[in-house]
Structure 1
Amino acid sequence: MYIPKHTAVADKSEIFDIIESNSFAILITNSQTNLKATHLPMLLDRNEGELGTLIGHIAAANDQLTNFENEALAIFSGAHKYISSSWYETDQSVPTWNYVTAHAYGLIDIKDDFEDKFEIVSRLVEYYEAEDSRYKVSSLDKNFLNGLLKGITAFSMKITRLEGKKKLSQNHSVERQRLVTEKLDNFCDDNAKEISAMMKKNITDKNGG
């Protein structure tokens, strides 16, 4: 993706944080004739491979499987918010959109035997269930579980390239950034709160605390 230097996230751990905080991804693959995309949760293993590994599963009937032999792109979209130019100190400007995102590229390895599918589904469920949840995949009736697992294809994706971007009005003056955060703080939605908090951190870091 297009990443101006002032918006780039260079730290691998910071990109991992974006992925883990926004793990409902868009998985995009291509062939010589078309692109295919699926919306799905993807779980990051930070310690498997130099740049980490993602795991997930899709429906066995999903024809995107025919594109899995090529490089894949997983997009993780974080907080985002419209920024009105009416918030600035002058009307001689244009509005924009602030946002956070991470892109992970890699090759997909299909995991289609029972044990691999069971492990991947179990890890996903364990990660997303609440700590006090009593639900366990292992407690499901075996025949019921077999039927469920036959309907999916699990996979891992070893990450070969990572990109992170935080577009937070860094190309504007600190004074204008402060004006934007003041307006964002008037909103009640989580996107506004997250963008405002990240912008304030940038301002603090830029001014040495």
Structure 2
Amino acid sequence: MRQNPSFVLGDVQEVRRLIERNPWVTIVSDTEDGLVASHYAVVLDPERDDLTVLGHVGRPDEAIHGLGEREIMIVVQGPHGYISPGWYDANPAVPTWNFVAAHLTGTPEILSAEENYAVLGQLVEHFEARMPEPRLMEGTADDAAYAQRISGGTVGFRLTPTKVVAKRKLSQNKAPEVVDRIILELEEGEQYRNPELAAEMRRAKR
């Protein structure tokens, strides 16, 4: 991802927030057979305050990626959307795309079966916690037995990135009145309404 000093997202807490709110990631590996990509959910390691993430892949993805043998890149994609040149009130102007994204690169640590099972439980709890009647992995004896049985079909990992490239391109290089106009279009416009992206732009203005 091409970086630009105006758009660098260097705040670790903001990158953690990005991961927490956008846990469905793309895992990319450069293998002997070429590039490989898979899609899985991750969570931040609750015992760390950095950008370490926990996740799992379904077999045989661990073999396809050579997981644990080489670097992988985890791509986190936050809110994004089209920005019309008509919103700039300037001439000439061209369209662009606003977005928030992070690339986490490193060699993952493969978890033991017990650690992997615990991570699967954390993942379920992370998403189920907001439900009125959460169905946790060990909520019932039947659920626990079923989870134990199928967890063997997954391989867990922990990634502490050795390289992080994070970018928040949210029209920071535009005049304040232009930014406000773009936010208004994203919040109330008819063609490209995108409240989540508008909220990120408001956050970037602080």
TM range (shorter): 0.7 to 0.9
Amino acid of the residue matched to residue 170 of structure 1? Q
1:113-132 aligned within 5 A: 113=113, 115-131=114-130, 132=132
Structure 2 unaligned blocks of 5 or more: none
TM, length-normalised to structure 1: 0.85
Structure 2 match to 1:200: 202
Structure 1 match to 2:165: 163
Q: Distance in 1 between matches of 2:41 and 2:192?
A: 20
Structure 2 match to 1:88: 88
- The one-character-per-residue Cα deviations of 1:162-196 (angstroms, maximum 9, x if unpaired) are 22211011122222222212222224899721222
Count matched residues: 202
Q: Distance in 1 between matches of 2:8 and 2:112?
A: 37
Q: Distance in 1 between matches of 2:78 and 2:52?
A: 19
From the superposition, tell whether residues 137 and 96 of structure 1 become closer, same or farther in structure 2 (CA, over 3 Å).
Answer: same
Q: Is the 8 A contact 2:36 2:65 kept in 1?
A: no
Which stretch of structure 1 is more off in the superposition, 14-23 or 184-193?
184-193
Structure 1 match to 2:22: 22
From the superposition, tell whether residues 129 and 190 of structure 1 become closer, same or farther in structure 2 (CA, over 3 Å).
Answer: farther
Deviation at 1:130, TM superposition (A): 3.0
1:145-164 aligned within 5 A: 145-164=147-166
Q: Secondary structure at the match of 2:20?
A: helix
Amino acid of the residue matched to residue 175 of structure 1? E
1:1-209 aligned within 5 A: 1-45=1-45, 47-48=47-48, 51-62=50-61, 63-113=63-113, 115-131=114-130, 132-138=132-138, 139-141=140-142, 144-187=146-189, 192-203=194-205, 205=206
Structure 1 unaligned blocks of 5 or more: none
Percent identical pairs in the alignment equals 27
Amino acid of the residue matched to residue 58 of structure 1? V
